[in-house]
């Protein structure tokens, strides 16, 4: 009986040059983390693919689904692994096609990674196709647009046979593009922005600005749920929480009402950049979409952007709300973001926020309170929750020394807070 394995395909990694092996090795590491609950026997590279085998030789659909959610994976196929015996891999092809569900047409697609096997790919196509035509006499052979393609891949002394593939999320393995700090709320936009940058290989460090103590801490718990929903991608290792409510109140009393939101965001960007420097991150990430709300006009974005010297990535800048919500459903954060929770975004909101801020007025409002002391105090009182889901995340040593008691609450059901 042929063993069943997960045959992992990647696309973009295959376009890399001399550093391709480092991308492949990182993907192998990330797959080990994603599959820690399964009885995995080995995960190894084989000629442009990743092979995942289990101790019992029976890889499952659930296991393939978990693999498909790891960035860097283009497709994953449940394949039968056989020797070079023709009868053995022909029977595996019969099994694979029989498990493909309802179909009317099929074709065979053979490949060899080397010329060491005596049969040419055309000969393998004819051999396997002839057997399948006998076993499935009512089905048609269609070379151009078949319902099912039976793949026969000869590589390193084995033959891998599969007929069904599950699409993956694509992109690059997390941990290959450096570290970024993302501004995370419990809404729809910022979790999607975080996921999109993580899918490009970045290790993400979310920072959530809570309305505490002026609001309940519900949004903090929703953000932790969002991080857990992103766990299959393995892109988040730590969530920072900044209690911002009292400072917002101080700002609301000091600056003109129309400039409150811009001032809030200037403080938030400044704090996020401080954390990024501590973490060794190279960029900030936001969920802003151009023109979606008052703070996301070009003038207001420019007024906030001048607070930081590092790049600010906005992966959703050209997306509309419907596109963002569809992506939230795909990545598993939609239902969490549907829950209402007061956070810093709902506190002390002006009736008529400025949509086209003038920098001279913004600077005047900025100088009306001691912003440097406020930023220092927010950084000094930051809190965090660690999550064991990102193999590429490394905590900063300086932060470990500075804080003895951290975390939004004393107990965390699944995440752990405090000194590491």
Could you tell me which residues are annotated as the binding site for ATP?
A: 183-184, 208-209, 265, 287, 296
> What spatial distance separates the first Cα and last Cα of the chain, rounded to whole Å?
48
Let me know the angle formed at the C-alpha of 210 by 382 and 419, rounded to the nearest 5 degrees: 30
What is the dihedral sign for C-alpha 122, 128, 132, 134?
A: positive
- Give the pairing of strands 148-155 and 158-162: antiparallel
For the stretch 289-319, what's the b/e string if a residue is b when 16 or more beta carbons lie within 10 angstroms of its beta carbon? beebebbbbeebbebbeebbebebbbbbbeb
Residues 327-331: contacts with CB within 8 Å, 24+ apart?
A: 327/192, 327/195, 327/196, 328/188, 328/191, 328/192, 331/191, 331/192, 331/195, 331/229, 331/230, 331/233
Residues 265-268: contacts with CB within 8 Å, 24+ apart?
A: 265/295, 265/304, 266/303, 266/304, 266/307, 266/362, 266/366, 266/371, 267/371, 267/374, 267/375, 267/378, 268/183, 268/209, 268/242, 268/244
The Cα–Cα gap between 383 and 222 comes to: 16
Beta partners for 238?
386
Binding residues: 183-184, 208-209, 265, 287, 296
Cβ 210 vs Cβ 408: under 8 Å: yes
Closest CA to 241 of 265, 219, 269: 219
Count of residues in the chain:
420
The DSSP symbol for 157 reads: T
């Amino acid at each position: 009986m042929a063993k069943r394995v997960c045959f992992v395909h990647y696309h973009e990694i295959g376009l890399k040059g001399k550093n391709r092996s480092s991308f492949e090795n990182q993907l192998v590491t990330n797959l080990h983390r994603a599959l820690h609950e399964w009885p995995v026997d080995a995960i190894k590279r084989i000629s442009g693919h990743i092979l995942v085998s289990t101790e019992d030789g029976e890889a499952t659909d659930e296991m393939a689904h978990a693999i498909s959610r790891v960035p860097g994976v283009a497709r994953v196929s449940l394949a039968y692994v056989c020797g070079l015996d023709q009868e053995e891999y022909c029977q595996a092809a019969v099994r694979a096609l029989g498990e493909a569900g309802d179909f009317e047409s099929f074709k065979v697609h053979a490949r060899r990674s080397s010329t060491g096997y005596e049969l040419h790919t055309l000969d393998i196509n004819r051999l396997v196709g002839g057997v399948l035509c006998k076993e499935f006499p009512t089905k048609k052979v269609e070379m151009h647009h078949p319902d099912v393609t039976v793949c026969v891949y000869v590589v390193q002394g084995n033959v891998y046979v599969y007929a069904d593939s599950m699409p993956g999320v694509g992109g690059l393995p997390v941990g290959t593009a450096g570290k970024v700090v993302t501004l995370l709320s419990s809404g729809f936009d910022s979790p999607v922005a975080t996921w999109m940058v993580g899918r490009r290989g970045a290790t993400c460090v979310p920072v959530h600005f809570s309305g505490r103590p002026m609001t309940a801490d519900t949004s903090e718990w929703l953000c932790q749920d969002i991080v857990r929903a992103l766990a299959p991608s393995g892109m988040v290792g730590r969530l920072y929480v900044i209690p911002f409510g009292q400072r917002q109140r101080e700002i609301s009393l000091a600056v003109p009402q129309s400039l409150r939101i811009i001032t809030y965001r200037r403080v938030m960007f400044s704090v996020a950049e401080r954390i990024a420097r501590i973490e060794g991150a190279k960029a900030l990430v936001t969920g802003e979409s151009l023109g979606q709300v008052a703070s996301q006009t070009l003038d207001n974005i420019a007024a906030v952007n001048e607070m930081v010297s590092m790049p600010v990535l906005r992966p959703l800048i050209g997306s509309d709300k419907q596109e963002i919500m569809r992506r939230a459903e795909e990545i598993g954060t939609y239902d969490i973001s549907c829950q209402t929770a007061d956070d810093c975004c709902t506190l002390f909101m002006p009736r008529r926020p400025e949509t086209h801020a003038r920098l001279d007025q913004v600077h005047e409002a900025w100088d009306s309170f001691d912003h440097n002391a406020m930023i220092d105090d927010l950084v000094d009182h930051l809190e965090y929750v660690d999550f064991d889901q990102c193999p590429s995340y490394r905590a900063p040593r300086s932060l470990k020394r500075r804080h003895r008691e951290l975390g939004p609450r004393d107990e965390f059901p699944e995440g752990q807070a405090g000194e590491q």
